[in-house]
Structure 1
Amino acid sequence: MSTFIAGLALGLSLIIAIGAQNAFVLKQGIQRHHVFLVCFICALSDALLISAGVAGFGVLVKQFPNLEMIARYGGALFLVWYGLRSLYSAWKTNHALTPQGNSNSSAWHTALLCLAFTWLNPHVYLDTVVLLGSISTQYEPEKLQFALGAMTGSFLFFFSLGYGARLLAPVFRHARAWKVLESAIGMIMLLLAFKLII
């Protein structure tokens, strides 16, 4: 049980920082737009990456550093595009709608965006595959319990963030709040893109 708790604690500590993926989940939660789908994709992706790390994929990533470089530049391009899109929305879009009606993206489009935020982020590979994978070796022969703890942390975090965000909904009934959120998300995305390429 202590191995499971160790995995849970480490998994939560790695994903709790505000990043592109978390900002996207927060926005979808406030809008109450495909929340379950977004939370499930994020958590399941984490679970797959954690499984790969614990199974030894981290060694492969270390042997082929070009994989990390490709993910880094691809992720930076995506973050720049999304950041500029958010800033444009903050400047031009009429946000005088309720959170529930503020987005009309299809489930398919939302899922693709969510997958991009997850799989084009090189930090997710470093955290889940390399770091968790290497730490899991300390818990032989209970690596499975460690991995299950880390996966549970991902599911707890993303579903709490996605569904807890609706508590902020009264604030976002005002157009100015949406403009501030879109501006903040845009700046976070551009800052993260800059950090990826320096």
Structure 2
Amino acid sequence: MFPLILSPSMASAWASGIATGLGLFAVVGAQSAFILRQGLMRSHLFSILAVCALIDAIFIFGSVLGLQAITRLAPWLTGFVLWFGVAFLSWYAFQSARRALRTPSAISPDSSRALSSRRAALLGAIGFSLLNPHFWLDMMVVGSLAQSFADARLAFALGTVMASLVWLLVLGAGSRMLAPLFSNPRAWRVLDGLIALVMAALALTLAFGGIG
């Protein structure tokens, strides 16, 4: 119903924003893996989703309105975020691998720790957004594409924000639907092993890209 109240150009930009956002965000990356694990642990999921949605919205509109200009003024910022992100992802990969190698009885849902305190969970959500170089790359892509829509670029940004919300809701609902499967402690070992591989692969990809 929403695009019906927009002009044709704004409706087109809005729809393009949704398609772009789903193409960029609907992948199991660092942030998605973090949300899935916290959701499976039933550890502050709604607070995490709210923080991630707010960060996405702020930076999507920020990228459309001038993030590219900031990175041109401070080109060192790109390199700093990249290498800090490599370190952050490597640390989380190590922690996930260590959990995966524990005995099943040691990682039952009651004893396994996601990020149990609300503060730690929210800091994790912020970290997996702002310390993830892929996040900044996505924002640069969004900002670049939005410029082609001229006066309708805010409609493009709104569509991208809606795509972000859809993906976050899918992750939240998916973690709840999968919860019964993870009543088996061995499933946690598999999940943590997969998360470790994803995080390590992202860290290596970013590191080789930074060196190159």
Q: Could you tell me how far 1:109 is from its partner in structure 2? A: 0.4
The Cα offsets for residues 26-59 of structure 1, whole Å up to 9 and x where unpaired, read as 1112222111111111111111111111102113
Structure 2 equivalent of residue 40 of structure 1: 50
Structure 1 equivalent of residue 144 of structure 2: 134
Matches within 5 A, 1:59-78: 59-78=69-88
Among 88, 92, 97, which residue is 2:109 paired with?
97
After TM superposition, what 4+ stretches of structure 1 lie above 4 angstroms from structure 2? 101-104
1:11 and 2:21 correspond:
yes
Equivalent residue letter for 1:166? R
Equivalent residue letter for 2:68? G
| In 1, Cα distance between equivalents of 2:110 and 2:117 | 18
The Cα offsets for residues 72-116 of structure 1, whole Å up to 9 and x where unpaired, read as 1101111111110111111226123369x8646100000011111
Matches within 5 A, 1:49-88: 49-88=59-98
Among 100, 106, 116, which residue is 2:127 paired with?
116
Q: Could you tell me how far 1:64 is from its partner in structure 2? A: 3.0
Secondary structure of 1:171's counterpart equals helix
| In 2, Cα distance between equivalents of 1:103 and 1:167 | 18
Secondary structure of 2:22's counterpart equals helix
How has the CA–CA distance of structure 1 residues 43 and 172 changed in structure 2, closer, same or farther, with 3 Å as cutoff? same
Q: Could you tell me how far 1:63 is from its partner in structure 2? A: 4.4
| Kept after mapping to 1: 8 A contact 2:37/2:114 | no
Larger Rg: 2
Structure 2 equivalent of residue 25 of structure 1: 35
| In 2, Cα distance between equivalents of 1:76 and 1:52 | 24
Structure 1 equivalent of residue 4 of structure 2: none
| In 2, Cα distance between equivalents of 1:45 and 1:167 | 25
Secondary structure of 2:120's counterpart equals helix
For structure 2, list consecutive stretches of 5 or more residues without a partner in the other structure.
1-10
**TM-score (norm: length of structure 2):** 0.87
Identity of aligned residues (%): 36
How has the CA–CA distance of structure 1 residues 106 and 170 changed in structure 2, closer, same or farther, with 3 Å as cutoff? same
How many pairs align?
196
Equivalent residue letter for 2:46? F
Secondary structure of 1:92's counterpart equals coil
**TM-score (norm: length of structure 1):** 0.93
For structure 1, list consecutive stretches of 5 or more residues without a partner in the other structure.
none
